[in-house]
Structure 1
């Protein structure tokens, strides 16, 4: 009888141990696989966001050489070589480089000699330097345009050189060069836990959040090819050796993410960067997430096993060990409470980390809105320059007339000319002030805004394009109203809608845009309609989703950003076809 009573106890003990071991191993494996799958998804999402930011930065700079190649000041400086014109062009390029965050903007003549530059007058000035040996010059002279990533021979900073040939009646006059640098983007990437880098089609790292990884390779480069690259000065004296990244199987890589640090495990996400031959890589560290998931899974499995086995043990030996089991249950409860408390602390830490990640994502989205705004500024830069050139020319004429009247001792007419000059300078100030306000980062605070002021600001920025395309504007804002919003961002919405309407009316001799406002008791509905071809049915359903566009060179982000801005104000943005495209912006009305 004694042996029979003791044998079930040994059996239960062995079964309990085997069950707990099996649960622990299974939970450990399942927790690790679950954490890895989440890391892979998060890494791909992070790669998509960083590709958007990279593409936005490149596209913002791509428009500059195209616009500047058509600038009359640039052509005049090339044709005349006048010192005064070149000095004025230096100042203009410096202002444009600061506004667009370009690394450098400079003008080469037909022989590759630098005539004007945004860094003129600085120790690293490009003026007078011969860049005829650079591929971006020779390709632009041959093909009309070129893009080339290289290390600067004067500045020592790497960047993407975007060039455009300037043609004259007798042949090429020169080449406009814009250098896009990515230091700000690399600094932004360093804020995240995931190392990020960009490789070209030769597997050479061009941009990296880890400075030691720049100009290294993800695949071996033959020695003769390395010698050619060093001779071309594209990457300076960089050894072009392999990155410290090793594949270890099962979708994992090991890498030393910073100098002096030991190798760690990562999952890698790679995606091509549109409009380039580059590939963006994101390495997500596995240790924190996997360790947390494994601990949580093992704790949960252990808890479930203890509860199940405890129930079986209680059922089998309740009569004989009732008092002892009660004490054991009390100890198990205390242990469980301690584990739950510890897990609660871990979950709180995880929640805090996710909140910080969400804050970082919001900052990235704000940067995307700002980048989109600067891209719009690049599109309208030539129009604003033309808008300013007219009053400047008039100021010169009135100033000459005033001097003539003063020489003739006719102060009355001279005073009239000076008053006209003052009015023209006020107009220039209004244009440049609007441009600066539009480019400035906003506070993102919803407040009362004059609808007419926002519309007038948008029309001031796109007015020249309306006149250039000979598009009629029907403006119906009978009474000024106050709406909930933020002046510059609301202005950005109207600029985007007017720019889209003008793009739709390109080449039409009878183009017309109607901008009207219908005022209700609690809302204001602003309508922007054109008589163009309307929106294709294929894009209507996804119009406010990222990267949906009808423009060959469009990013498909303008309407998405406008939709989000209006939603932040408590309103909505909608679109339909009624003879042409019709966009309606509904905003809350404030008393």
Structure 2
């Protein structure tokens, strides 16, 4: 009897311990999952902040070559050109809020810098040809990476080659400061770090972790880093904690484990010895080869799991004690009444009740797991949709900017190619005057290309036009001149009835010429497959309009425009050309330019076949401005 009681006691103790352990494990798993979800949310926010503050300035070096002062400095280095370039880079750097913007020649010598008047971090005149951002850009590739610059200031460098035609003549680079990211550590609420592609810690909420290596660097890699002075002269010791990381290729999530002595881990993380229990989570930053790691303490989760386990064990012990008390009572009653059968029936009923409740609990647990799985799937779907919308918005903005610049530079570049061919032919024939005239026109077109970027920055924010008294016939003549080679090659009969000296209009001459070039180019495209190719340009005054305007008609003998074309002609990205031949932005931009000088652009079909585009421009009046020499 005593042995039986001892065995029952051991079984009860084992059941209590197993129940407490099961509740502990379950509570710990749920707590760790909740903590992981919260930490991942903070990591996503932090990763977004890092990418927004660091990567927003990466495209800047690609735009520096558009400034004429920079290209002149690389073509003819000198103090005068350097001063203009330094002034432009200084203003650009002040507007962007970066640490420095500088330009290097093909030898790696800094010719111009935004900090040229400062001693720290200027680099002007220094040779930085050993830097990877220079070597990559010199090879024609845009690059970006972390490095410690001169003066010991760390930053994120982005560079882009500068072209003069097909030849790389220099490198533009920008240094982006990382000090602003130090203010974002509190949002993580735990020790954290940022490691670069070399697995070197470049940013951390723990100063002792900075510039340590998460993994041993091979000797060859250390030599390369020292030659490039990526981390200046730092020795890069190993990270004080042993961390094993694994990366999910689909979600780019990073998970890791901490190894080593508990006291060492606690000291490195600034925690008490009995709280050295941490979960390592991270993110790989898109396009930067950086990783963000956060060390989240599991002490609160483990403490709560311990309380739940103790509570579960106490509950089971209470149930066991209750069962024992009931059995003892039944035994006493059985002994008193001698009703062994009733005691067995009571035990059977008790077992049936326990089974029923166990089944209910099992069903409830199954339903709860299903709901948790559905919520996790919903969260993943929502996160994927949000990422897609953000990516689509970024690509839309980049696409519009690239499309606008490409379209507006096509015609001037074609004209320069035509004029350069004419100049070469004139020089071969010994006609230096004609060649000089073509070269002067080419210089004017280059200046015009430099100003194209102002009206193309966006459709909603345009530069202020500079109207003046302009000879409309001269502008038409110059626009047709740019297409002389194409007119002869395609055998198009051009009839220009708007001659110089007939009409004086009030507008910006360069913008009027830009609109006419686009309309003439479109007309020539429409005549490509026409049996009879005829281009006619006429003009007529409309004095009844308020204010009086000059209507310039550009008419072709092509197949004309369909009803659908007429309905959508001035909508962005709608084009009647074949796929890849047009972007659908030319007429939209031309209409906006016409509206700037109070004009209009309309289109209609003409009897007999063909389309006609009518551009109205205000006529010059003495009340507008004293008449100045009329030049296009």
Larger Rg belongs to: 2
TM norm structure 2: 0.47
